[in-house]
Structure 1
Amino acid sequence: MTAKKLDGPSHGPQAGGKPCHLVILLHGYGADGNDLIGLAPVLAPLMPDVVFHSPNAPYPCEGNPMGFQWFGISRLDPAVAAAGVRSAAPFVDRFLDETMAQYGLDESKTVLIGFSQGTMMALHVGLRRAKPLAGIVGFSGMLAGPETLEAEIRSKPPVLLVHGDSDEMLPAVLTQRAAQTLNENGVQVGVHIAPGVGHGIDQTGLSHCARFVLEAFKLQVPKP
């Protein structure tokens, strides 16, 4: 069975013309592509040759009929999360392949950014592709199925994990656990725990993300 084709908003490149780099944004449970594409106008001036795509997840959300989900949730049941990312992974892989092909780009020119459930998807997919992505950023998420990573990891792109220490949906300890598992599997991981931030992205977290993406793409980091 071929995975359903994902679609959603895009932004850039700010400089016009053909993009030289690609950022794919994977939204959280109950949101849609319009939610995370809001990061693009903030990041685009720093990286004018980057095109941003933010696909809607494949399924209507059970908990929010206006939004979408990558998979159904069940009180953070680890088995449900592990099965969920696995079943939704082909959608993301196909979107990655087709969007890279559309612009004539490859993994070395592509970064995956996820939020919450989108972080679970980004980590699952990005670490199992044959060629390493330029990088993966995960906001407010967790590593689903950590026990299977050692047997299934195929590439080791650099990873940045950002989490609010006041997150009431997914506690920040989940990011710290994810970082430990990634480190144990030879993945270079940066972690930023944002003080006083809940289940969301603050300006400091976004600044860490911007610097990571610029470095992943080997683009110039602006002087502060």
Structure 2
Amino acid sequence: MPEIIEGPKLAALSCGKPTYLVVMLHGEGEKGQDMADLALGWAPGMIKADFIALEAPFRDAEGRAVWRDPARPGDSIAEAATALDAYLDAQLARTRLPASHVALVGFGEGAELALDVGLRRPEPFAALVGFSGAYHAAGLPVGAFSAAPTLLVHGEADGEAPYSGMLALKEALKSCGAPVWSFKRPGLGHEIDGEGADAAGAFLARHVKHQNPQHQEADHD
């Protein structure tokens, strides 16, 4: 089983023991620092949260970090999922936080892994956020979906992970009663823009801290 590597961390801005944890998975060929940079914008709204960016264990032909080994994509992504699951179990034991105070965020390949693992957890996390994942809704057994609130942020012009895949996953989640929202970014490719990052930050702050929104959360399909 591959080893999950901890990358950049951002400690809670408040004094005292952190009461929330956000674990972040970067995209294909990227680095943990890319996700940690997003956390800098989210931290002021979640001052009691620790943020941890993980580093993918495999390398592609160019030596870049990936969650899926190109030489054996199916086996390696399953191994990465098992390793991530074990890592999350260890974090819950170490921090003594309930699953309801933990969030999982990913971009691209990291989003696929985050949702695949997060939606199968025995106790639902506080929130799941996926940016621009190449989702395969047909491969997720409906009976395995957890009730974790999920936000899918996706560029409508994404050439690497089609927008239609996000819509298919959203419908699959809705069909089994899972709480899911989406945020469409018109004209955006395979990337995260400021508005998408802000929407994710607001979603995390609301659901991880268990705040009651003053108005119903809207979809942006």
TM-score by length of 1: 0.86
SS in 1 for 2:41: helix
Deviations 1:122-179 (A, max 9, x none): 111011111111110000013336334224x152211100001121211211111111
- 1:47-126 maps to which residues of 2 (within 5 A)? 47-59=46-58, 61-65=59-63, 67-73=64-70, 84-126=76-118
SS in 2 for 1:133: coil
Structure 1 residue 181 displacement after superposition: 1.3
Give the Cα separation in 2 of the matches to 1:201 and 1:122.
16
Give the Cα separation in 2 of the matches to 1:220 and 1:42.
19
Give 2:39's aligned residue. 40
| Residue pair 1:9, 1:53 contacting (<8 A) in 2 also | yes
| Residue pair 1:89, 1:125 contacting (<8 A) in 2 also | yes
Figure out how many residues of one structure are paired with residues of the other and give that number.
214
Give the Cα separation in 1 of the matches to 2:90 and 2:52.
12
Give the Cα separation in 1 of the matches to 2:139 and 2:28.
23
Give the Cα separation in 2 of the matches to 1:73 and 1:167.
21
Structure 1 residue 220 displacement after superposition: 5.3
State the AA in 2 paired with 1:146: A
- 1:1-224 maps to which residues of 2 (within 5 A)? 3-59=2-58, 61-65=59-63, 67-73=64-70, 84-144=76-136, 146-151=138-143, 153=144, 155-218=146-209
Structure 1 residue 9 displacement after superposition: 1.4
Change (3 A) 1:124 1:222: closer
The two structures, once aligned, show a CA RMSD in angstroms of 2.3
Give the Cα separation in 2 of the matches to 1:221 and 1:191.
19
SS in 2 for 1:9: strand
| Residue pair 1:19, 1:49 contacting (<8 A) in 2 also | yes
| Residue pair 2:2, 2:57 contacting (<8 A) in 1 also | no
Change (3 A) 1:211 1:5: closer
| Residue pair 1:113, 1:138 contacting (<8 A) in 2 also | yes
Give the Cα separation in 2 of the matches to 1:24 and 1:221.
23
Change (3 A) 1:118 1:5: closer
- Unpaired runs of 5+ residues, structure 2, are 215-221
Structure 1 residue 219 displacement after superposition: 5.1
Structure 1 residue 182 displacement after superposition: 1.2
State the AA in 2 paired with 1:72: D
| Residue pair 1:30, 1:63 contacting (<8 A) in 2 also | no
